[in-house]
Amino acid sequence: MKVLILNEKDLRTALKDSNPIDDVEQGFKKLTLNEAVLPGIISLEIPEKKGEFHIKGAYLQGSPFVVFKSANSYYDNPVKGLPSSSGLFFAFDSDTGFIKALMFDNSFLTHVRTGISGAIGTKYLSNKDLKQVLIAGCGTQGRFQWEYLKKVRSIKKLKLWDIDPKKAEEFQNEIKAKDKIDVSVVTSLKDTVPECDCITTVTPSKKPFISLEWISKGTHINAVGADNPDKQELDERIYGIADVIIVDRKAQCVKFGETHHAIENNIIKEEEIDGEIGDVIAGKVCGRTSVDQITICDLTGVGVQDAAIAAFAIKKATEKGLGTYADIS
Amino acid sequence: MKVLILNEKDLRTALKDSNPIDDVEQGFKKLTLNEAVLPGIISLEIPEKKGEFHIKGAYLQGSPFVVFKSANSYYDNPVKGLPSSSGLFFAFDSDTGFIKALMFDNSFLTHVRTGISGAIGTKYLSNKDLKQVLIAGCGTQGRFQWEYLKKVRSIKKLKLWDIDPKKAEEFQNEIKAKDKIDVSVVTSLKDTVPECDCITTVTPSKKPFISLEWISKGTHINAVGADNPDKQELDERIYGIADVIIVDRKAQCVKFGETHHAIENNIIKEEEIDGEIGDVIAGKVCGRTSVDQITICDLTGVGVQDAAIAAFAIKKATEKGLGTYADIS
């Protein structure tokens, strides 16, 4: 028996010139329709080594694969000149349980599915015609947000902000080299945010940097950065003026997403969350119903996204004849 | 970066002529001494396919590896001519979190560590001089029990029993071909059990087949078969006459081990469990203190055994230059 082995290069080649947005959408939709199995996760922590392992998995009905992902973080690795994050995806045949593929993605697949979730939030919740878009946070994930955002909306003006303006400039130069778009770096969020109708926040910030006072009618916000209880990007009072609040996974967002700060500070009650993004995709929840509404999509990352992107990558890699095979018989 | 890939053949060669019993003992001991990290497990079930995935992991302080194992069961596989069980071990560098080895063991490592646990139960709890030993259950695991049992005790007489006497005869012939021992097949447990001072039960039985009335003073019993709440091998009343009750993991044994039947039927209280096998190894609990005592060791399988056997196998495989390497950089 042979197992397909895909490294990061293979996976980047597999996904080149392809669009997995529909597949990730289907993952969210299956979760809503109870057509997904999403078990608990394993967290193994080694405090004395500042190391932790998180394993999660999911099965989407009809998929040829059951997918698990190990995401490992060693916070002292950079001191040794090593990346802090590592891990792998492993995919089993959903009809036999046999291992079929191992993907050493160096976080690439996770970045892709997270970028796609922002695009899905925008596709289903922002206004169709956008005057000006802001990406706040110009690290790796900011790039993935842009990569998929431009596939779902025709964007005329893009503003980039980072706490380190040099990072924003680097990103601006990359975009100028490949995309025909009016892109510029901003340093004042106070001046920029009021003119934006679509904002994606994707920073590791632990204190809010988008103020209530700056938000205009009709704005959509994707809150991507907060994936643990300490992180926060939005003034929690924005939840108080939001007309539509959508999350990727309610059980997570009330614990460690952006949304949990709004609940903890009594700005909203848990019941005021309008639904999960899968509900909107499936048509069970409306989402935006007028151009003036303020909408928020809180994205913390769900196993169904991993299952969807992994299955998509294996399909594309197989079609393109990528990777190597390990004989395990 | 390269990952070591070991298949079942590599692993069998790696472990040939070696003795991992000490390593597995150390695993149990570290668990007792709070020198192990043993997180919860993931169970992902797909009822419509009669398939299930169980992932567990452990870290033993001082080990070069953090080890996880996926154990997958598809109960309709045999209808397709396929084995119902599959899975793999994966080992990460405990200093960086990077993946180091993948072991496609076809359950071999699990069989080894389970066989070893019976040997450890016997080593720490049975009398030193054994007149006659019984292995009840002559499937694959019965063979692994024998393989390691003979390393911890000098055994003069071995009796084999299986619900299917042909299976016991096959096993007998295998033993005769390689071990110098007085081995024979028995069909009457009623006649055999009273003359045995060490009994290992290793069947998938759902009803007890070892009666209270047959147990002699001084007998030690390793109960290995019951690893879910429906399975039972021992008349639960044996717990009532047992002088020493040891389990591998209390939290498991009171839920789905042999012990849970004795507790559910009010034969013993949970507090009457004398300790875990790691407590005995570490000298925190005495175990047997006289030749006449009846002792039970309930073995359900613990992640520390997996971590210990995987690290041992990687060490031996590396020393012997086994396996292949996959380039994942």
Residue A114 inside a domain? The answer is no
Identify whether residues B272 and B320 lie together within a single domain.
Answer: no
Residue A309 has pLDDT above 90, yes or no: yes
- Token pair, residue B165, equals 């006497």
Contact B43 A39 (CB under 8 A): yes
Domain match, B125 and B21 both: no
Q: What is the CATH number of the domain that holds B150?
A: 3.40.50.720
Q: Nearest CA to CA, how far is A44 from chain B (Å)?
A: 6
User: Is residue B283 domain-shared with residue B194, that is, in the same domain?
Assistant: yes
A69: annotated active-site residue:
yes
User: Are A51 and A180 in the same domain?
Assistant: no
| C-alpha distance from residue A84 to each of A79, A80, A159, A279, B223 (Å) | 9, 10, 29, 35, 44
Q: Binning pLDDT at 50, 70 and 90, where does residue A327 land?
A: confident
What pLDDT, on the 0 to 100 scale, is given for residue A114? 97
Nearest by CB: B41 against A42, A70, A86: A42
- In this structure, the number of other CB atoms found within 10 A of the CB of residue A221 comes to 29
Is A115 a member of any domain?
Answer: no
Q: Do A90 and B70 touch (CB under 8 A)?
A: yes
Instruction: With beta carbons under 8 A apart, name residues in chain B contacting A41.
Output: 42
Chain A interface, best mutation among B30, B92, B93, B324, by max A CB count within 10 A:
B92
Q: Identify the DSSP state of A230.
A: T
Strand partners, B200: B135, B222
Among the partner-chain residues A53, A57, A99, the one whose CB lies closest to the CB of B88 is A99
A165-181 pLDDT, tens digit per residue, is 999 999 999 999 999 99
Q: What is the ipTM of this complex?
A: 0.92
Say whether B3 and A68 touch across the interface (CB within 8 A): no
Residue of B nearest to A45 (CA): B37
> Is the backbone of residue A274 left (phi > 0), alpha (psi -120 to 50) or beta?
alpha
DSSP code of A33?
T
A25 and A36 inside one domain? yes
Is B34 part of any domain?
yes
Tokens of A59: 């099965």
Cα dist. A237→A91, A100, A258 in Å?
Answer: 42, 47, 11
- Output the tens digit of pLDDT for each of chain B's 329 residues: 899 999 999 999 999 999 999 999 999 999 999 999 999 999 999 999 999 999 999 999 999 999 999 999 999 999 999 999 999 999 999 999 999 999 999 999 999 999 999 999 999 999 999 999 999 999 999 999 999 999 999 999 999 999 999 999 999 999 999 999 999 999 999 999 999 999 999 999 999 999 999 999 999 999 999 888 999 999 999 999 999 999 999 999 999 999 999 999 999 999 999 999 999 999 999 999 999 999 999 999 999 999 999 999 999 999 999 999 998 88
Q: Is residue B131 part of a domain?
A: yes
Q: Which residues in A lie closer than 8 A to residue B7 (C-beta atoms)?
A: 327-329
How close is the nearest chain B Cα to the Cα of A25, in Å? 22
B203 falls within a domain: yes
* Whole-angstrom distance, CA of residue B97 vs CA of residue A84: 8
Count structural domains, chain B: 2
Contact A72 B329 (CB under 8 A): no
* Same domain (yes/no): B176, B281: yes
Using one digit for the tens of pLDDT, what is the confidence trace for A203-237? 999 999 999 999 999 999 999 998 889 999 999 99
Q: How far apart are CA B3 and CA A144, in angstroms?
A: 28
Residues of B in contact with A49 (CB under 8 A): 94-95
Assess if residue B65 is contained within a domain: yes
Give B226→chain A minimum CA distance, Å: 23
Asked if A5 and B97 come within 8 Å (Cβ–Cβ), the reply is: no
Residue A116 lies in a domain: no
d(CA B49, nearest CA chain A) in Å: 7
A100-130 pLDDT tens trace: 999 999 999 999 999 999 999 999 999 999 9
CA pair distance A224, A257, nearest whole angstrom: 9
- Number of Cβ pairs < 8 A linking chain A and chain B: 145
The domain that holds A95 is classified in CATH as 3.30.1780.10
Tell me whether residues B49 and A94 touch, CB distance under 8 A: yes
CB A6 within 8 A of CB A327: no
Q: Is residue B114 part of a domain?
A: no
Residues of B with CB below 8 A from A57's CB? 42, 44, 53, 55
CA distances from B10 to B14, B18, B181, B289 (A): 6, 14, 29, 42
Residues A34 and A151 in one domain: no
Q: Mind listing the pLDDT tens digit for each residue in A6-60?
A: 999 999 999 999 999 999 999 999 999 999 999 999 999 999 999 999 999 999 9
Reported confidence tier of residue A329, pLDDT bands at 50, 70, 90: confident
B11: closest chain A residue by CA: A328
Which domain, by its residues, includes A42? 2-109+304-327
Q: How confident is the model at residue A1 (pLDDT cuts 50, 70, 90)?
A: confident
In a shared domain, residues B150 and B64: no
Please give the share of chain A, as a percent, with pLDDT higher than 90: 98
Chain B, nearest residue to A75 by Cα? B96
Judge if B177 and B298 occupy the same domain.
yes
Same domain flag for A59 and A140: no
If asked whether residues B311 and B204 sit together in one domain, one would say: no
Write out chain B residues lying below 8 Å of A96, CB-based: 51, 74, 77, 80, 82, 86
Q: Could you report the per-residue pLDDT of A151-162, keeping only the tens digit for each?
A: 999 999 999 999
B91 forms beta bridges with B67, B101
Q: Which pLDDT score, from 0 to 100, does residue B286 have?
A: 95
Q: Give pLDDT, residue B202.
A: 97
Nearest residue of chain B to residue A327 (CA atoms) = B7
Contact at CB, B42 and A59, closer than 8 angstroms: no
Chain A closest-CA separation from residue B319 CA (Å): 20
Task: State the smallest CA–CA distance between residue B36 and chain A in angstroms.
Answer: 10
State residue A238's pLDDT score: 98
Q: Do B261 and B181 share a structural domain? A: yes
Please tell me the distance from the alpha carbon of residue A19 to that of residue A312, in angstroms, as a whole number: 9
Cβ neighbours of B73 in A, within 8 Å: 97
